[in-house]
Structures are given as C-alpha cells and as structure tokens.
Chain A
Amino acid sequence: MTAPVSHADPFGHDNLEDPGPLHESLRAAGPVVRLSRYDTYALARYEHVHAALTDWQRFQSAAGVGLSNFRHEKPWRPPSLLLEADPPRHDAPRRVLSAIIGPRALHRLRERWAADAADLVDRVLDDDGGVVDAVPALAEAFPLRVFPDAVGIPADGRENLLPYGDHLFNAFGPPNDLVAAGAGRIAGLSAWVDARCAREVLTADGFGAAIWAAADRGDLTPDQAPLVVRSLLSAGVDTTVHGLSAVLYALATNPRQWERLCAQPSLARVAFDEAVRWESPVQTFFRTATTDVTVGETVIPDGAKILMFLGAANRDPRRWDDPDRFDLGRDPSGHVGFGMGLHQCVGQHIARLEAESLLTALARRVSRIEPAGPVARHHNNTLRAWRSIPVRLHRK
C-alpha cells in the first residue's frame, strides 16, 4: 500500500514555532507518512517511533541521523562514533562512555552540583531580585557552570559551546536558512571544539581524561578518543539547556505543579522527565532503512530516510492520557525524549542530575515562579528551544 502523503515542511518556521498541529495530522494520517518535500518517510505514533528506535538492525544510524544520507553524501564533519555509528563500531565508544557518565559514576558529582545550584539560585535572587530571563540566567548558566568543568576543558572560549551545538543540531535538518545562518562561523567553532578534545588541554580529573585513560587501556583506539570527547561537547550542552528551559517554562506556567514540587522536592526527577516528555527538547532524528521494511502496510524501501518524531510520540494520545497536560502525577516512564534502545541518550543521567540539582535548589528558596513578560522561542531544526522566558522568582 502507498503511504499517505504530507506536503508539510517540518523544518519550516511555522512548524518550528508550534509543531503541535503537524504532529497531530501526521499521527492521524497513519503509522507511516511520506514527506513529499524531502522524499522521506515520517513516523509520529508512539508505537512505531519506539519500534524504529529499538530496531537498529533495520533502522540504521551510520548513514546519518539527519536528512543527509551518508551513503551518497559526504558528512559535514567526521561522523560521531556514537550517534552516527552502527554495531559493531558503536560498541566500544558506547561502552566506554556509559561507564564514564553512567549512573554509578555520577554519584561523586551529586554534592558538588547541589552546592553549585544553590549558589547560582542565591545569586539570582540577591543580584537581580529574582526578576530574570530564565533562559540565560538559569537554563544556560547552570549547565555552562558545571558541565564543561566536569568534562575538564579550560575556561576560555566556553561561549563557543552553545553556537556550536546550535549549528550541529540545525545541520541534522535540510540546508535551510537556519543552516545558512550558522555556516559562516562553523569552521572556527569546530576548530575550537576539536582542539578541546586533545589530551593535553583536558584536566586530569574530568570525563575527558577518563576517555583518554580508556584509550590507554586499549578499550578505544587513540584516534577514537578525541571524537568521543567531542560527543560530550556536542550533545551535552544545548540539550540540557533546552531541557532545563522546558521544565522551568512548564513549572512557571503550571503553578499547581510547582506547588506540588515544593511540597515534595523528591519529585524533581519526575518533573524533569515529564518536561522532557511534554516538550521533547530533541524533537526528531532520522534513520535509514537497511532493507525494505514494512511498517503498518507500507514498504519503506532500502536506503530511504525515515524521520522519527520523538515529540509527536511523546504526545500520542494512543499512549498517554491527556498528553498535552504537564502533570507531576503521571508516570512519564517510557517516553522517547531520550530515545530508546542502543542509541538511547548516554548522557541522560547527567541531564537528570543537573535538573535535579537546580530544581531542588529552586524549590528550597522560591515559593512561586511567576511569568513576567512575553516568552520567545528559539528555532532550531532539531531542538525545541526557548530564547527567552522572563520570570519573577518569589523568595520564600
């Protein structure tokens, strides 16, 4: 059977501003929809997105997780050894990085990050009287304070991290105006990031040094080590910034949920995962069919690109009750905001620890997060992002 066709542009500004209606129409159209504009297929229902994410045998990543098909096109940068790799090449980098930033390795960062978060929130309350733009003042400030230190890169030039990540996540989409806007700076930003992956510049106690130590043990080859460090710097900054923006926006606009969190701060982790479900900071990734794959009644041909709408799956009413509601009473477990299966976000425990640290510090000190002006989205081909969320933090 031929799949229903959509002529929409998921990367157009209207859909980036508000993807909800597009997601709804794609889910309604069927398990698979052809996107005529980019000659690809789309999956938007939870069931099929989940199945494609876990089925690495038939939905590969090594041909690129953006629109560009590495079978025919040269990648704009050397591909990621994790995100853009299939087994068996994916195995060793994944194993090494999972051990370095997995749940068990993060326990030692807990106390330090809690103290850093407390300090940041105190300053925002003291210096700015609590009237701030939550995006730069909290969502950007906190990850930029703790994460580059944890990786172990030097202090200078860290302002390059966000624009680098922004371009990288744009580049998974089509070569549209967003990509063009970043193209001018990207060579310089890439060179800066690549230089931060060298053994000599990394501090001895960070994740970066641990990656190099794995190479010394032979768990990686020496030429893999800098690319694995690069994965941290690429995938670990913008994602958490927009994840934190998402949860702060959700809590500012849902005061009842904020009260719930204040009453029970141990809900911080649930609040963050619910925000990752609700907002899906990473909206989409592509796969490439390794053979003719039947989904529903449609045959997706070998080599075709498939766009998985994580954001649509996370609000699929077939899977979630009242999906558009941000609700700390729901169990968001099983959302695909961090992906699922072999490539599931290896940094998810870091993201959760950052969020838990910041939300706990806020819940201790702030009685209310009050919206204080018009909010503005930031458009990116892959990320659901905020540019500005003005708020007034009421001190307890």
Chain B
Amino acid sequence: MAETRTLRVTGKEPVADDVVALTLADPGGARLPDWTPGAHIDVILPGGLTRQYSLCGDRWDAHSYRIAVLRERGGRGGSAYVHDVLAVGGVVGLGGPRNNFPLVPAGRYLFIAGGIGITPLLPMIAQAELLGADWQLLYGGRREASLAFGHDLLGYGDRVHLRPEDRHGLLDLPGFLARWRPGTRVYCCGPAPLLAAVERACAGLPPHTLRTERFVASAAAGLARGAPFEIELARSGTVLTVPAHSSVLDVVTAAGAGVLSSCRQGVCGTCEITVLAGEPEHRDSVLDDAERAAGTRMFACVSRARSDRLVVDL
C-alpha cells in the first residue's frame, strides 16, 4: 500500500570533479514510476530539504533511477549533504517524476549543455539515437575533468563536441547553431549566462525552436514536512491525523471518505481532491507550476501538507 514514497541509495560514484552519480531504487524492489527524457525528481533529504535532480539513466530499467549531483559551494546544503553525508543504503523521499523539458518529435536536434546541465540531455541523446534522428551535442564546462559523462559521450563520435573552457574558451554558439536547418529543435540546459547567450543566438530562428531548462533553486521552496499533520474533511467536520508514514489517501479512505484512486503514484490523476484551506506539498507528476502555486487541488495518493492542517472538500 502507498506509504510516503522513498528511494534507497544503491550506488554512489564520482563521475567528474565535484559531481557524484547516485543510483536509487525502491527499498522493496518495486518498479519505479515511469519517466520520459527531460524529467526530474524531487529528492527529499532528511530534515525536509527538497531538491530537484534530472533523471539521467535508462528508462528501460524500471527498477532504478540515476541522478548526478554537482556540489554547489554557495548553496544551502542540499548538494553538500548528497556529497558528504548520503551514503549507499541511505534513504531519501521521492516526489515526481515531472517533466517540464520534454523532447518533442523532430528529425534533427542540436543539444547544448553547460556543466551539470548535461544530465537531462543524456536520455534525450539516447532517445534521438534510438529513433535514428540526426543530432549534435555541444558540451561546455570549466575543465575537461569537470565534464561529467564526457568520456562516455565520446563513444558517439563526431556528433559530440566537448569544449572545456580552459582549452577552448567560451562556447562558439553561432558556429554550432549555424548547423540549424528548418525542423531542427534546439535543447539547452546549463547556467543562466549560457541560457541567456543561447536565447540571444536563437532569436532569429522560428518560434518554438529552442527549449531550455534552468536548474534554479526556488526561493519559495520551503522544507518538506516530516511531522504528522491534520486533515479536516469539510463536509463532515471530521479531523484526521496523517502520520509521517501514511498517505492522505490512506487516511481519508480509512475514514470512509470514498476517494477513488488508481495508480497510487501521482501519475493518473484519479485521486484529485479540492483543497479549501492550508498549503499542500505537491509530489505528483500531473500539475504544472501555476497549478501547484494555486494550491487548490492535490493528489491524495502522494501529496502532503506544509501547513499544520489542510481543509479538503470531502
């Protein structure tokens, strides 16, 4: 039955300077939720710190996720925890997967990665290759040793252009984008200055050509709540407690509230409930950012509360 979803670290290895790759699996060995290239998960660290990491493994492996984490020196401690404390056998919470950066169908792709921004592009590249699409990757970073997965990518031959800054200077975006032809999609992920430069360089191309993702830390993101919270069923006035290891769905259905569910993974959308008061903590794969911020709907199988109490229309 659905408890709060967790992942166990089953592997941890350095893949570049300041980058570790983690392999994550369900503690009971179950299948993990399906995902598509460009997707990320929420990793919920002990203490409730929640950080997003792009899935960079193989979706044909239904039993493990792979992420790669860069140590962020100026950060509030999420990536440092992953590097310094989280070890094989450790457990983290899971939200998602969600995909705000999907690979759309096209015959040709130009991929541009800056540093750790390579992570969502890796499964896209595997997919482009599988579909026989024509593609090229321009991959920049500070030094060769900081280009995670650079060595593996060289297996793709002359489609891949590794350009560490200490040897090549800044990326030659106009030169790379000169390969653009009608129907080509451009995908870019990396630090803000790179994204801004790519946006400028693509300004003359048709709309919807460029798709980007930013790894920005959201200032608003509060801590995930480890403690129990209360849920009030507005129609009856009943107040229930959701313990740390039970889902909202389990608690309200045990009380006879008649909420239908199906996937129990936050994917299918069946267990939607209307939130009248309180602040939900969304962990589903369905809502977009605006709907999350509105906070009026949630999926009871996976999502929880940030506030002490949620009032729901049940």
Residues of A in contact with B (beta carbons under 8 Å apart): 54-57, 87-89, 91-92, 95, 102-104, 217-221, 224, 266-267, 269-270, 273, 331-335, 338, 340-342, 344, 348-349
Contact = CB atoms under 8 A, between A and B. Distances in A.
A102 B105 contact: no
A348 B286 contact: no
Interface class of chain A by DSSP: loop
B307 interface: no
Contacts of A332: 260
Given A55-B62, A103-B286, A342-B34, A92 B263 contact: no
B277 to A, nearest CB: 19
A371 to B, nearest CB: 27
B311 interface: no
Contacts of A342: 34
A333 B297 CA distance: 20
A219 B104 contact: yes
Nearest to B211: A218
B261 A102 contact: no
Nearest to B60: A57
Given A92-B102, A103-B286, A224-B105, A333 B185 contact: no
A342 B130 CA distance: 19
B31 A55 contact: yes
Given A104-B269, A104-B291, A344-B262, 19 more contacts: A55-B62, A57-B60, A87-B36, A88-B131, A89-B105, A103-B272, A104-B286, A218-B185, A219-B104, A220-B104, A224-B105, A269-B260, A331-B260, A333-B253, A334-B264, A342-B34, A344-B263, A348-B262, A348-B268
Contacts of B260: 269-270, 273, 331-333
Interface range, B side: 20 to 34
A135 to B, nearest CB: 25
A224 B62 CA distance: 28
Interface string B263-285: 11000111010000000000000
B188 to A, nearest CB: 15
A334 B102 contact: no
Contacts of A54: 31
Interface string B121-146: 00000010011000000000000000
Contact of A220 (B105, B131, B272): B105
B208 A217 contact: yes
A340 B264 CA distance: 11
B26 to A, nearest CB: 13
A374 B131 CA distance: 54
Contacts of A104: 269, 286-287, 291, 297
B33 to A, nearest CB: 10
B64 to A, nearest CB: 13
Interface string B3-47: 000000000000000000000000000010010110000000000
